[in-house]
Amino acid sequence: MKITLGEISELIDATLIGDHSIEIEGINTLSEACPNQVSYVTQKKYLNTLSKTKAGAVILHQEHREHCNVNALLVSNPYLAFAKLSHYFKQAYSFHQGVNNAMVDPTAQVDNVSISSGCVIGKNVSIGENTMIGANCVIEDNVKIGKHSHIYANVVVHRDSELGHSCVISSGAVIGSEGFGNARNDDKSWQTIAHVGKVVIGDDVTIGANTTIDRGTIDDTEIHNGVRIDNLVHIAHNVIIGENTAIAAKTGIAGSTVIGKRCMIGGMVGIVGHLRIVDDVTINATSTVDKNISKSGIYTGFFPLMTHKGWQKVGVWLIKLDKIAKTMNIKLKDVKK
């Protein structure tokens, strides 16, 4: 797939300093790019590499222009411009295969949909036009998927789930799985609670590989417009995630927690159930959230990294904090007297 630098400049709204007619066939890093590829730079630490690059053009900010010896695509936000351009070249790598060997129920509405081999499409399924379903996907009964979405191979979308327009679901993801709800019997054995709610996903949502989103117990699990979810994330039953929130890998969100808009949640964060987190909250990686967050800001909930011996010393103090506090109270009382 070829595109000229002039066309790229229009695509990413850049000011081109150089030859508009040069044809570009792909994207690459500054150090590896060749004359028919585009790269980008965002930080000063890469300026030495920028000065030596053999790329056909580089996307960059005006302040880095003097270090660029090749064609320059000047933008205010190079990372955003690169993100937009990356989707143009991604089209060339998209894999899809016809409906050969797919099992599609006759009640399904799948006109102008690309369905790859090995898929199973259930009853009363509705899939919007220009959506692509990768190989070996299972789309159960009564599922609704909007237009221009891409469901990659080996995804399972369980019954009654709803996905909006322009969603991307990566391989191995499971949408609408049974939630983790159990009640104790008198003999202390477990009685599973059936989950009769569903998962409702808005427009322009991205869900990473092997992420699982459980259906609601009675009400629905909701993922609102523009949400970005990384690989290996678990979202439990009845969780609600607000618009344009981003969640990094290996995060676990327990049931019935509500997360606001535009939040950023780092990798391996654990969020306890039945909490409320307001809009515009950032939670740093590996933090544990065990209480409501009612004010926007940046939150961290872990001890700083230290040697094991250092942690052992801290641990000794931690288990004695109650005794230390009692002792200090007595001394404070004595001082007051």
User: Which residues carry out catalysis?
Assistant: 237
For residue 78, give Cα distances in angstroms to 11, 29, 68, 282, 311. Answer: 13, 14, 14, 23, 42
Query: Whole-angstrom Cα distance, residue 293 to residue 288?
Result: 12
Cα distances from 264 to residues 62, 139, 213, 301, in angstroms, run 29, 30, 18, 15
Q: How many Cα atoms occupy the beta-carbon half-sphere of 102 within 13 Å?
A: 27
Q: Which amino acid is at 214?
A: D
The residue type found at 31 is S
Helix (H, G, I), strand (E, B) or coil at 71: strand
H or E element, residue 87: helix 78-90
What does the radius of gyration of the chain's CA atoms come to, in whole angstroms?
26
CA distance 298 to 285: 11
Alpha helix segments (H runs only) across 214-307: none
- The number of residues in the chain equals 337
CA–CA dist 60, 66 (Å, integer): 11
The identity of residue 314, as a single letter, is: V
Task: Reduce the DSSP state of residue 151 to 3 states and report it.
Answer: strand
